[in-house]
Amino acid sequence: MTDKTTAYQRLETQFHDICVLEDTIQVLHWDQATVMPSGGAVARAEQLARLEVMRHEKLTAPGLADDLAAASEAAEMDVWPAANLREMHRIRKKAVAVPADLVAAHSRASSLCEFAWREARPADDFSAIVEPLGELLELTRAIGAARGEALDCSLYDALLQDYEPGASSAYIDPLFDDLAGFLPDFLEDVLTRQTAAGEPLSPEGPFSTEAQRALCRQMAETVGLDFDTARVDESAHPFSSGVPEDSRITVRYNEDDFGEALMAVLHESGHAMYERGRPEDWRYQPVGRARGMVLHESQSLLLEMQACRTQEFYHWATPALRDAFDGDGPAWTRDNLLRWATRVERGFIRVDADEVTYPAHVILRYRLEKAMLDGDLALPDLPAAWNDGMKDLVGVVPPDDRQGCLQDIHWYSGAWGYFPTYTLGALAAAQIFQAATASDPTILPSIQQGNFKPLMGWLREKVHGHGSCHATDDLIHQTTGAPLAADAFKAHLRQRYLDG
């Protein structure tokens, strides 16, 4: 056994421990959002900060650098170990740019600001969050500046690396500009057509939370989740967390509209299925982790928007929805439920937005977070800037901050740079689903029977099972035959909302 081979094996051992730490942090975040008492906020902030510092210390240890150098000089590796080593270098380079005390301070501030948001949002009190958010913003700027210097990129692009390795504003802006030019006229055409056809009937509630819980479990199981190793809980903001062997999904229930929880559980199940499909042999190595949030969001949006708002899905799902809520009458026909699920309207809330207006919600957040990070937008001015942006991009003005700049958890939990991945994920979802259904003509007929195995099998082979072996663009090109673009997304929208 050579010293160089030993160096790579030591790296695998070290990164195994780092991956386990990351999994532990994930579960503690889930606990914090679902069942932890509010009085535990300070203690949890300290716990998470300490774990983040432990992870940082392992990544920045001098011995790790020595082993990376030795392993890099080794004889040519197979594809997976070589990709694993590449990811190790990338992760360490990002980590060493930031001192441990800044990592701890940012983690602590993120936890405390998130708890403040959980109180400020239902109270519609933005003023209560300005101070903790301001502290978090300054720490986020400091991290972005330090990383930007080390990675030779802008502050914002440095923060993007946490959510999409290799992404940049220069990559995002043309795609978003393309959509911003396409969507306004398209939205008007869709609304005109929808009005001419008559508005769909809304199923009338109330829809008990108990009945919705049972339906959400049934839908998640149908998609492929095994509830011996998964659970669905309730939180202020829906999310998917946990590990492949222990999926933690959350939704929020609205007794006036079961569609919110229904689509949330399908969306979050898409995230969980991606995690479960990661390559088992590389489970605790960087190359076996999810590539980034563009692919992650593509998998959730592929399920929620592409597969589960189709005629085929509602052919199967309509009887289940009727049974769940004792639904009867014209509002509960397959045709009406599909029209209700695909209705387009100008709304305030991103997570409830249809796929035509959703990109505008994301573009707004992208612009605002860049302005705040650059110092061009002061925090006290955020509500007014938000409302102006909503009027310009969506055509509505939120009546309060709870439905405006307080609606999303991301900034208040420290996730600056996340938002663009939602719309990039939507573009990827359309492109990947188009490729999947063209490649396997049994996918849609199987969904019509409530069978998602062909779709999930195809995704596991083409996307999930590749982990981080390939860059996002390379994997999308390999899977679909083309680089990521807006073409498939626009074609999908035209077919569903104008030509269908």
Which residues are marked as active site? 268
Torsion of CA 349, 354, 360, 361, to 10 degrees: 20
Q: Which amino acid is at 128?
A: A
Q: Which residue has the tokens 């190359």?
A: 287
* Residues paired with residue 230 on neighbouring β-strands, in sequence order: 247
Instruction: Find all residues with CB under 8 Å of 207, minimum gap 6, and list them.
Output: 255, 256, 257, 258, 325
Look up residue 444 and give its two tokens. 């849609």
Residue 305 and residue 341 in contact, taking contact as beta carbons nearer than 8 Å: no
User: What phi and psi values does residue 449 have, to the nearest 5 degrees?
Assistant: -100, 10
459, two tokens: 């995704």
- Which residue blocks in 35-154 are alpha helix, DSSP H? 41-60, 62-72, 79-96, 100-123, 130-151
Among 200, 337, 220, which residue's Cα sits nearest to residue 269?
Answer: 220
Distances (CA, A) of 336 to 208, 325, 327, 329: 21, 16, 12, 10
The answer to whether residues 126 and 405 touch, using CB atoms and an 8 Å cutoff, is yes
Q: Which residues contact 124 (CB under 8 A, 6 or more apart)?
A: 400, 401, 402, 406
Cβ-count burial of 380 within 10 angstroms (0-12 exposed, 13-18 middle, 19+ buried)? Answer: exposed
In sign, the C-alpha dihedral spanning 259, 261, 264, 265 is negative
| Angle, helices 79-96/41-60, rounded to nearest 10 degrees | 120
d(CA 249, CA 408): 17
Q: List all residues 6 or more positions away from 480 whose beta carbon is below 8 Å from its beta carbon.
A: 431, 432, 434, 435, 488
Q: Which two tokens stand for residue 7?
A: 């160096």
